[in-house]
Amino acid sequence: MIKLDHVSKSYAAGIPALNDVSLHIAPGEFVFVMGDSGSGKSTLVKLLLKELEPTKGVIWVNGQKLGNVRHKEIPRFRRKLGVVFQDFRLLKDRNVYENVAFAQRVIGIPVKTMRKRVPAVLSLVGLAAKYKSYPKEISGGEQQRVAIARALVNEPRLLLADEPTGNLDAHNAWEIMKLLDEINQRGTTVLVVTHNREIVKAMGKRVITMNQGVVVGDEQAGGSYED
């Protein structure tokens, strides 16, 4: 699902943002990536989204070698991914239904299909009754659920969540993590970048720890992870 082979990324002279990172995430896994600010977590996500190019090494995502994905093919590549950000990134002038439907409109999904799929994914995230509400009318936790619904509506095999609980209180953070776990149980590979050690410890998933651009830990609950 995701494979990095001796990947480095340097922005300028000095310590690389990513330094000779190799890792493998198999289909169906739920993986946390942890590390302090400057550890390389954000660079990793941008590389996986092909927002950045590695200085060295090779990256595969969803079976595609990213070095072979041409610039004009990047939008199509990203449509196969679900992405959730800390700041929700909802369209403030559109209601919940329209925010989720937008992800289908941009890839030309027929309206008939959209009318079935959007309510189904809103039901999955517990927002079926809020489909007419606008972002300013719902809580932060609910806004993040809309963002997750939007990420899932095109049925991606891989969901990337970059600090998805960063702007939420403890209760809503737990609710979002339980939702991501449920999504994973349905077969979607989930990669969550976070600094919330309490949630990571309680979830009992694989944890990749980064420090100054290097993977310094790769553990499952109860022991080290083996490929």
Class of domain 1-80+157-227: alpha beta
Number of Cβ atoms within 10 Å of the Cβ of 131:
19
Helices 111-124 and 96-105 sit at what angle, rounded to 10 degrees? 130
Q: Where in the chain is the domain with CATH 3.40.50.300?
A: 1-80+157-227
Number of Cβ atoms within 10 Å of the Cβ of 44:
30
The predicted structure's pLDDT at residue 209: 95
The predicted structure's pLDDT at residue 168: 85
CA distances from 97 to 51, 75, 169 (A): 28, 23, 25
Q: Lowest-pLDDT range, 30-39, 81-90, 180-189, 214-223? A: 214-223
The predicted structure's pLDDT at residue 102: 93
Sign of the torsion formed by the C-alpha atoms of 186, 149, 24 and 78 = positive
More confident residue, 158 or 168: 158
Q: What pTM does this model have?
A: 0.87
Binning pLDDT at 50, 70 and 90, where does residue 221 land? low
Residue 199 near residue 177, CB atoms below 8 Å: yes
Q: Express each pLDDT in 33-73 by its tens digit.
A: 999 888 999 899 999 999 999 999 999 999 899 999 999 99
When pLDDT is averaged across residues 98-103 and rounded to a whole number, the result is 94
